[in-house]
Amino acid sequence: MGPGYFPFVLGGLLAVLGLVVAALALRRTREAIRPWALRPLVLVLGAVVGFAILLQPVGLVLSTLILIVISRLAGWEFRIREVLFLCLLLTAMTVGLFVYGLGLPLNLWFRGSVP
């Protein structure tokens, strides 16, 4: 039994199931799939991807702020004061908890600078 055996069997089963689901969907009365909500999808995942890319080059503090602001745009009622409060609170919590509390080796500011 080689390394391809189990994946091959599973893949075959999955393909058959996919065909059955597709065939049933064609025969039955149309059931609408849920509508896409692009705004939260793009902003939330965008904020995460941005954080992943920025964390090493610009440090924890700035990438945290960017994550909060972008992701907060995905919600409703963007109030400046509320967002500022969130930024302050969460950044302080993150730095306090993860860097000083748990001692994770994350650079706070730009790469190379002293934390």
92 binds another protein per the rule CB under 8 A: no
* Residue closest to 92 by CA, chosen among 103, 69, 108: 108
Residues with Cβ < 8 Å from 91, sequence gap 6 or more? 61, 64, 65, 68
Residue 44 is inside which H or E element, if any?
Answer: helix 38-58
Report how far residue 101's alpha carbon sits from residue 83's, in angstroms, rounded to the nearest whole number.
Answer: 25
34 binds another protein per the rule CB under 8 A: yes
84 binds another protein per the rule CB under 8 A: no
Q: Which amino acid is at 37?
A: A
68 binds another protein per the rule CB under 8 A: yes
When binding is defined by CB under 8 A, the residue of 27, 102, 112, 113 that contacts another protein is 102
Which residues in this chain contact another protein in the complex, by CB under 8 A?
1-4, 6-7, 10-11, 13-14, 17-18, 20-21, 24, 33-34, 36-37, 40-41, 44-45, 47-49, 51-53, 55-56, 64, 67-68, 71-72, 74-77, 82, 86, 90, 93-94, 98, 102, 104-106
